[in-house]
Amino acid sequence: MIRVDAVLVALAVASALGVVAAQHQSRKLFSELEREQSRAHGLDVEWGQLQLEQSTWAAHARVEKLARERLGMRPPAPGQVLVVEPQP
Amino acid sequence: MKNKRSVTFNHNPLLKRDLPVWRPRFVLLALLAGSVTLGGRAVYLQGVNNDFLQAKGESRYARVLEVPATRGRITDRNGDMLAVSTPVRSVWAIPSDAKLPPAEARELARLLDMNVSELNDKLASTRDFVYLKRQLSPEVVQRITELKLPGIHHQQEYRRYYPGGEVTAHMLGFTDVEDKGQEGIELAFEQQLAGRPGSRRVIKDRRGQIVEDVESIRPPRDGQDVALALDGKIQYLAWAALREAMQTHQAKAGAVVVLDARTGEVLALANAPNYNPNNRANLTGAQLRNRVFTDAFEPGSVMKPFIAALALERGKVTPSTVIDTSAGRMTIGTATISDAHRSGPLTVTQIIQKSSNIGTVKMAMQFSPAEMWQLFDQLGFGSPLNLGFPGEASGRLRPAKSWRPIEQATMSYGHGISVSLIQMAHAYLVFARDGDLLPLSITRLETPPSSGVRVFSPQTARELRNMLELAAGPGGTASRAMVAGYRVAGKTGTAHKLEGGRYAKKYISSFVGFAPASSPRLVVAVMIDEPSAGQYYGGAVSAPVFARIVEGSLRALGVAPDIALTPLQVARKPGEASAVVAPVQESM
């Protein structure tokens, strides 16, 4: 009788400790998830800023200015363009 | 132990007194009542009214957090970014907490780029919450937090950036300091673009770290992205061409709109004067005005082709019918109508090509006012396009019953009726297409409508295309609309401006046309308000703007030239030196 009691007590204690451990684990994982989520948000923001930067560098006004002034480019005269039409 | 005691408590002679029976009972009852009260109270607190206490307990560890949502991005038809929201920070203060020594106040003012006195005024406020400065870059705020000033706090906000700046200003509009749409697309698509911040309840530990997510009260909903029909390259070309014309002709204002003739999409929209949406200090109303949509003007001669088309459609004339305009003037009632250039008898084609008022009036007077009104109504004049743009003008088209004959006559050449530039460009779709009118779209269409409302027969539309091509050709009023390599078609308009009910010596020069004439891809409408550098005819002021936009746009779209040109340089065959051939045709 005593032995059964002892086993039950041991089981109860073990399960109680298990609950504590699981709770701790879940909190740890949760705060990790939190961190990753805020990192994802940060990266999203950075992506937006990089897109912004890209469109600023690639603005048509800027590209045209550089092409004309620094590279000495100009649009081809109509006679210099050969249009290749796909075969129907 | 039990019965070894010699004198038990009850047998104590000192206590051996006769107590009245009610006393112990009374005490017993009192104790019982006390325990029932306690029990009842416990049940009440724990079972019946436990919400209040639970809420109190929760407030010790649970927090409700706001989850920010971002505003949707705006892209052009190729996915290039036109407007992006990015986080910035606002610095605010609790004035009663912020007692700053002068040195620190100076340092803070320097970082905030403010006067010290201005800062002190704000901190002297009696309110509980004062914004010191909004929309600061994260770096500046980082340095302010390093000062560790009492009562100075900051929070995250969003600011909208427009990488296109001036080029796309009027199309996109802008948002206010709360990131809400105020103008243009930002206002028209506010519902779709705006994000809805969510909130959630969490459990925080002693160090303020979130340890458990209790519930999501409301999930955040990020704004949806909007893909416009706008083509970045064409928009840039339109903006640059308009800016150049504004400078050359010293004009007061100007507007350009480019439509895709196949789908009815708005490919470009530019206005002048302009502004930079990223820096909106010292804005004036004139700069903000989106003239393409909000300004209705008397279009002048660009109206004539519709009258000619109606006459053809009803079989009143053919393109080669001769109408006598040799008098050069014509009297209706008490008013006289005259042509700018006198010429002899003209065919219908020549009337459009030379832009004869008298010829047009003679055609128009064969119709009843109701017939003409119905045409204008079908073309969309007099009612707004309902694209959702703020302040869209409907133009003025009076009911046919109130037209006097002279008014009907002047309306045929575009006076006494007012339209917005986008309405005019829209109406020209009937010529650029085979007589049907598509609804316009500001956003990119995945499946464009194949046909719209039929206004003219394909036959009439084709005949008008020929006439308009001649008008934009060597003998027409708009020979400067010509583009090397492509056939173009279009009509000029030069209208007197109404000032205080009278026509003043100020002009609106316009040009509406399409290209390539063989199979139209683009409809371009140009309007220049009060050119003051000498020239004011639509053919001299607005047609060159059209030519510049069309030439660049068709090339950008990869449309094959429809005028045969011998290539200057042909592809090299292997083992052969590059063959250089001189260009055969050089139009313009």
SS3 content of chain A, % helix, strand, coil (to 5): 80, 0, 20
By CA distance, what is B584's nearest residue in A? Answer: A79
Q: Tell whether the model's pLDDT for residue B332 goes beyond 50.
A: yes
Model confidence pLDDT, tens digit, residues B512-540: 999 899 999 999 999 999 998 888 888 88
Lowest mean pLDDT among A77-81, B218-222, B223-227, B283-287: A77-81
pTM: 0.79
By CA distance, what is B83's nearest residue in A? Answer: A52
What pLDDT, on the 0 to 100 scale, is given for residue B523?
95
Helix (H, G, I), strand (E, B) or coil at B547: helix
Count how many residues are written for chain B: 588
What pLDDT, on the 0 to 100 scale, is given for residue B587?
38
Q: Tell whether the model's pLDDT for residue B259 goes beyond 80.
A: yes
What pLDDT, on the 0 to 100 scale, is given for residue A72?
93
Q: Tell whether the model's pLDDT for residue B353 goes beyond 80.
A: yes
Percent of chain A exceeding pLDDT 70 equals 98
Q: Tell whether the model's pLDDT for residue B18 goes beyond 90.
A: no
Count how many residues are written for chain A: 88
Residues of A in contact with B485 (CB under 8 A): 78, 81
Residues of B in contact with A58 (CB under 8 A): 80
Residues of B in contact with A50 (CB under 8 A): none
Rounded Cα distance, B160 and B158, in Å: 7
ipTM score:
0.76
Q: Tell me the average pLDDT across A32-58.
A: 87
Lowest mean pLDDT among A14-23, B58-67, B164-173, B228-237: B58-67
Direct distance between the N- and C-terminal alpha carbons of chain A, in angstroms, rounded to an integer? 94
Q: Tell whether the model's pLDDT for residue B568 goes beyond 60.
A: no
What pLDDT, on the 0 to 100 scale, is given for residue B158?
85
Residue A87 contacts B, CB cutoff 8 Å: no
Distant-in-sequence, close-in-space partners of B35: CB < 8 Å, separation ≥ 6: none
Widest distance between CA atoms in chain A = 107
- Residue B232: what are its φ and ψ, rounded to 5°? -55, -40
A51, A61, A64: residue with CB nearest B81: A51
Lowest mean pLDDT among B111-120, B369-378, B560-569: B560-569
Q: Tell whether the model's pLDDT for residue B3 goes beyond 80.
A: no
What pLDDT, on the 0 to 100 scale, is given for residue B31?
96
CA distances A69 to A58, A65, A72, A74, B235, Å, are 16, 6, 5, 10, 22
Residue A59 contacts B, CB cutoff 8 Å: yes
Q: Tell me the average pLDDT across B222-246.
A: 92
Residues of A in contact with B213 (CB under 8 A): 30
Residue A75 contacts B, CB cutoff 8 Å: yes
Percent of chain B exceeding pLDDT 70 equals 93
* Tokens read off for A88: 């129907």
Q: Tell me the average pLDDT across B475-492.
A: 86
B163, B240, B583: residue with CB nearest A77: B583
Task: Report the relative pairing of strands B226-227 and B74-75 from DSSP bridges.
Answer: parallel
Smallest CA–CA separation between B157 and chain A, in Å?
Answer: 12
What pLDDT, on the 0 to 100 scale, is given for residue B585?
41
Place of tokens 């994802």: A40
Count residue pairs from A and B with Cβ separation < 8 A. 84
What pLDDT, on the 0 to 100 scale, is given for residue B577?
45
Residue A55 contacts B, CB cutoff 8 Å: yes
* Tokens read off for B455: 């206004």
Q: Tell whether the model's pLDDT for residue B579 goes beyond 50.
A: no
- Residue B390 half-sphere exposure toward CB, CA atoms < 13 A: 18
Residue A38 contacts B, CB cutoff 8 Å: no
Catalytic residues of B: 301
CB distance A75–B565 less than 8 Å? Answer: no
B212, B236, B555: residue with CB nearest A27: B212
Model confidence pLDDT, tens digit, residues A30-44: 888 888 988 988 898
Residue A5 contacts B, CB cutoff 8 Å: no
Residue B569 contacts A, CB cutoff 8 Å: yes
Q: Tell whether the model's pLDDT for residue B572 goes beyond 60.
A: no
CB distance A48–B555 less than 8 Å? Answer: no
Mutate to test the interface with A, among B486, B548, B553, B568 (most CBs of A within 10 A): B568
**In sequence order, which ranges of B314-438 are alpha helices (DSSP H)?**
348-354, 357-364, 369-378, 405-412, 421-427, 429-432
What pLDDT, on the 0 to 100 scale, is given for residue B575?
47
Model confidence pLDDT, tens digit, residues B80-135: 889 988 888 888 888 887 777 888 888 888 888 888 888 888 888 777 788 888 87
More confident residue, B212 or B358: B358
Rounded Cα distance, A70 and A82, in Å: 26
**Cβ atoms of B425 and B527 closer than 8 Å:** no
Task: Report the relative pairing of strands B346-347 and B419-420 from DSSP bridges.
Answer: unpaired
Q: pLDDT band for position B16 (50/70/90)?
A: low
Lowest mean pLDDT among B284-288, B304-308, B570-574: B570-574
Model confidence pLDDT, tens digit, residues B137-155: 778 888 888 888 888 888 8
Rounded Cα distance, B248 and B545, in Å: 11
Rounded Cα distance, B222 and B251, in Å: 43
Residues of B in contact with A25 (CB under 8 A): none
User: In the predicted model, what is the mean pLDDT of chain B?
Assistant: 85
Q: Tell whether the model's pLDDT for residue B179 goes beyond 60.
A: yes
Rounded Cα distance, B238 and B358, in Å: 34
CB distance A31–B565 less than 8 Å? Answer: no
Residue B84 contacts A, CB cutoff 8 Å: yes
Rounded Cα distance, B441 and B445, in Å: 8
Lowest mean pLDDT among B117-126, B218-227, B441-450, B510-519: B117-126
Q: Tell me the average pLDDT across A59-72.
A: 90
Smallest CA–CA separation between A58 and chain B, in Å?
Answer: 9
* Tokens read off for B292: 């393409």
Helix (H, G, I), strand (E, B) or coil at B427: helix
A30, A61, A85: residue with CB nearest B211: A30
Smallest CA–CA separation between A20 and chain B, in Å?
Answer: 14
Q: Tell whether the model's pLDDT for residue B571 goes beyond 70.
A: no
Residue A29 contacts B, CB cutoff 8 Å: no
Residue A42 contacts B, CB cutoff 8 Å: no
* Sign of the alpha-carbon dihedral angle for B243, B244, B250, B256: negative
Residue A36 contacts B, CB cutoff 8 Å: no
Q: Tell me the average pLDDT across B63-86.
A: 86
**Cβ atoms of B258 and B234 closer than 8 Å:** yes
Q: Tell me the average pLDDT across B571-581.
A: 46
By CA distance, what is A24's nearest residue in B? Answer: B211
Model confidence pLDDT, tens digit, residues A4-39: 999 999 999 999 999 999 988 988 888 888 889 889
